[in-house]
Amino acid sequence: MRVVAVALAAVCFVLAAFYWTGKLQIGATHLGPHHTHAIVLALVGVLALVWLRFQSGASR
């Protein structure tokens, strides 16, 4: 599951960067940067890193 968390975080941060610069327009109604989408994706990336941190604990 650690690999999934790292991959999810990486994908979210890359997509957030593309949305911030306006290079990605998926689900957008107008052209240009979509800062709200970028912030939400960055938060999901941070949550994935938090999930990774909880996955790295000792197993039972």
19-51 pLDDT, tens per residue? 999 888 777 677 888 899 899 999 999 999 999
Q: What is the DSSP letter of 29?
A: S
* Burial classification of residue 3, based on how many CB atoms lie within 10 Å of its CB (0-12 exposed, 13-18 middle, 19 or more buried): exposed
Q: Is the pLDDT of residue 57 over 70?
A: no
> pTM for this one?
0.83
DSSP 30: S
Eight-class DSSP state of 58: P
Q: Name the more confident of 59 and 44.
A: 44
* Length of the chain measured in residues: 60
Under the banding of pLDDT at 50, 70 and 90, the label for residue 58 is low
What pLDDT, on the 0 to 100 scale, is given for residue 18?
Answer: 93
pLDDT bracket for residue 59 (50, 70, 90): low
State the Cα angle at 24 between 29 and 26, rounded to 5°.
Answer: 45
Collapsing DSSP to helix, strand or coil, 56 comes out as: coil
